[in-house]
Amino acid sequence: MKVISLFCGCGGMDLGLLGGFDYLNQNFPSLDYEIVMAIDNDPFCTKIYNQNFVHKCEVMDVRDLEISKLPDIDMLIGGFPCQSFSISAQNPPRLGYKDERGMLFFEMVKILKNKKPRFFVAENVKGLLSANKGKAFPMILKEFENAGYYIKFKLLNASEFGIPQKRERVIIIGFRDETDYDLFSFPKPTTLFNKVPLKLAVNESDNYNEKLYFSQKAVDGMMRVRDKMNKGRAQSLDEPCNTISSHLAKVSLNSTDPVLYLNGRYRRFSSKECAKIQSFPEDFLWDSVSEAKQLKAIGNAVPPVLMWHIANAIETTANRSIKQEKRHNKSNTYTYPNDEWVQLSLFEPDTLYLSKEENEHTLIGSCRKGIIDWIKQSSKYCYPITEDDILAFPDLLKVKRLFIHHRRNLIGYYQVTATDIVVKAELRAYGYPTSSSRHKADTKYILFSMIPTEKSNDLDFTKFYPIIGKGIQNL
């Protein structure tokens, strides 16, 4: 598939897309993509990029592109700037921008409308989900939809994909073909319960580099305010690192920057360590620019390993031949059953019940009255869950059929098309009425995407057993 890469930086996203590299003794095979054009307006990032790729990146402002003259492509990728979005005071409200950087998102949309690639991938910070009190993100999705795309998005944590960094990023994927949309699933975490520790990215030789250590004056200043201001964020070598940022060259003890505390002294990370924390391979070249420019480029990059998993999932979707007739949220013509499901009165109302007879995983789920309309309109169902629940009941991720009820009333029968683990901010972006939820902002939910199906006559209640919810201990 032919690809144009916008805002490519030093090439983290592009390296992950192409594959063919090793990281922490694991090989990430080459994927079937070709980058036919890459642009960025930072000449220093471009120097690094061109040192590492056969194809070359152009130093250019995306607004200077002659879109009609761009080559035909199958995919557009890029992490558009997001610092400057605003919600303009219009009725209805519209997506605006505070300065010129906010315009760059619309340039991406223009290319999508003109070139109509089969897919696009956009990456951004977690804060995009809550920007402008949660109003900006749904409008951004609407702009992508208006460009002719079905949209899926997910908040991915790099530490769950073999990377020693707790970097959370929103990944938005657009599909021009409805069948691609139906078939695609985000990649499943590879290290959800066995995170890669920071110590695998720390170089022993850097412990002897005096340039990396903070002065005693800086340490004394931090110590005076540490208890009040939570400064001096020393990282545990046995866990993934906190997110590293674009101002790595100006790391301060009086900020929230991650630092190391070794043998009674504080130090910052070297550029090689930062590159490894971001999952760049050892043979990626950086010496075409100063260390300060290296650190800025690394901090802004998309982790290549994370992008590899995303690109691999898209390639898998593109290669699949199975067709689905319906997009799961196109269900307005479906008539939902209104009959009472009398047998459900025997069940605890807030408990999930699972049956896996003949390997056909079927779930009975309950819901609150306040989200019934959301379930029917979005064709999605969610339930609060912990990491211990996921570990204890991995069959939840294999559910194929789902029956949802509210007390004794049947809401509907569904075929599950995709299963994800999400947080509240992601649910809000899907239109879920989270304001009425009692759960905390960092609560995780299992989210099922589904399509309505006909009433099932093969339900055997003796085959179901309770797994999660209230009252299980009393059953």
Active site residues: 82
Angle at 320 (CA atoms; ends 157, 2), nearest 5 degrees: 70
| Residue (of 360, 464, 341, 330) closest to 408 by Cα position | 341
String of b and e for 342-368 (b: at least 16 CB within 10 Å)?
eebeebeeebbbbbbeeeebbbbbbbe
Q: Residue 298 burial by CB count (10 A; 0-12/13-18/19+): exposed, middle or buried?
A: buried
Contact criterion met (CB below 8 Å) for 237 and 269? no
What are the angstrom distances between the C-alpha of 127 and each of 45, 105, 135, 318, 420? 24, 16, 12, 30, 20
Contact criterion met (CB below 8 Å) for 218 and 267? no
The SS3 assignment for 432 reads coil
Contact criterion met (CB below 8 Å) for 137 and 143? no
Rounded to whole angstroms, the Cα distance separating 36 from 80 reads 19
Amino acid at 138: P
Size of the chain in residues: 475
Q: Residue 414 burial by CB count (10 A; 0-12/13-18/19+): exposed, middle or buried?
A: buried
Q: Which helix (H) or strand (E) holds 134?
A: helix 131-134
SS3 content of the chain, % helix, strand, coil (to 5): 35, 25, 40
Pair of tokens at residue 60: 């250019």
Angle at 263 (CA atoms; ends 258, 264), nearest 5 degrees: 75
C-alpha gyration radius of the chain: 24
Contact criterion met (CB below 8 Å) for 425 and 392? no
